[in-house]
Homo-oligomer: A and B are copies of this chain.
Amino acid sequence: MHEKRRYAILTEGYLTDRHAKTAHGVMQYGRDDIVAVIDSTYAGKNAIDVVPHLGRSSPIVANAREALALGPTSLLLGVATAGGVVPPAFRVQILDAIDAGVEIVSGLHEFLNDDEEFVARAKASGAKLWDVREVPDGIPLFSGEAYRVPQTVVLAVGSDCAIGKMTVMLELERAGRAAGARPEFVATGQTGILIAGKGIAVDRVISDFVAGAAERLVLSVGQTTDVTLVEGQGSILHPAYAPVTLGLLYGCAPDCFVLCHDAARNRIEEFDVPIPDLKTLAAMHESWVAPIKPARCVAVALNTHKLDEGAARAAIDNAERDTGLPADDVVRFGADRLWRAIAKAAA
């Protein structure tokens, strides 16, 4: 485990906005402490009342100075803006935190470490600047060591991008812990990294090393972990992103897959690629890895958020009939059933 951070999460003006999805993800799934949310719009309230579905209690304060009094180790920029730039209103808050020697954490495209003022002030105060999208140095080539880890490695795969693969693995981790197991979520993208406190944004890794990055992640889990739940990326059907997906497929050397699919989607979103039926898609993944290290699909995670409850139940039933695998919407109906399928595969 990484050392626990104590976050002040900066959402100034965005707390209830969809662009605050970084803050929302960390509040809902993060295991770091949150000492304060900084948003003058709701100052004086508690986050549990403003965004109750996230299930996280935290005081909301008006600015970084008030948050600093609560002893954060880190200031998290809690937004994912269009274009990935730092919102202008954030700047003064960030500088106050930097001057206090507090670490700044950002998942934005615009790197903190490319901002001369941030860098200079951080140098003066000793504050760290963590750009979570920045790939660590020294990622090795894939070596095959991942074939010999003691954990059961489970990889989320799917029919397209942005269908909830990260959420599925986080819900499965939660269900596994509740069941007394010791699963560990492994992050491969920026939001996942913020939630887990570590990880590698594999889509930023040089292509020759993407399998090596995946392997390194699988080797990095805690000694007591029994099931490694690797966040997936992209899809083997995606004309642009499939190389990243294949890097995970080979580099993680998974023992099994959870097949993720948005029940309302039948084509890859940006390209004219039809999504085959789930049985075919599961078989494709199994046949791709078969010559390297065989792995089976053991569960289907359906995202049914666009369907009403009746249609969702029907889609899940269809997926089970089609694939012969347990299927569920882990957000809507809980992850216990799919966790049991994984626990069975791991036994």
Residues of chain A touching chain B, judged by Cβ–Cβ distance below 8 Å, are: 82-84, 109, 140-142, 144, 202-208, 210-212, 237, 239-244, 246-247, 250-251, 271-274, 276, 287-288, 291-292
Contact = CB atoms under 8 A, between A and B. Distances in A.
13 contacts: A83-B140, A141-B240, A142-B239, A142-B240, A204-B207, A206-B206, A207-B244, A211-B242, A212-B240, A237-B291, A242-B246, A243-B246, A274-B291
Q: Which 10 A-B pairs have CB atoms at the shortest separation, nearest pair first?
A: A142-B240, A203-B208, A243-B247, A243-B243, A207-B210, A207-B207, A207-B244, A243-B246, A246-B246, A210-B243
A155 to B, nearest CB: 14
A243 B288 CA distance: 12
A151 to B, nearest CB: 18
Contact of A292 (B142, B202, B237, B250): B237
A278 to B, nearest CB: 14
Contacts of A84: 208
A144 B243 contact: no
Given A109-B208, A204-B208, A206-B207, 20 more contacts: A82-B141, A141-B240, A142-B239, A144-B272, A204-B207, A207-B243, A207-B244, A207-B247, A208-B240, A208-B241, A211-B242, A212-B240, A237-B291, A239-B251, A240-B251, A243-B244, A243-B247, A246-B246, A273-B291, A273-B292
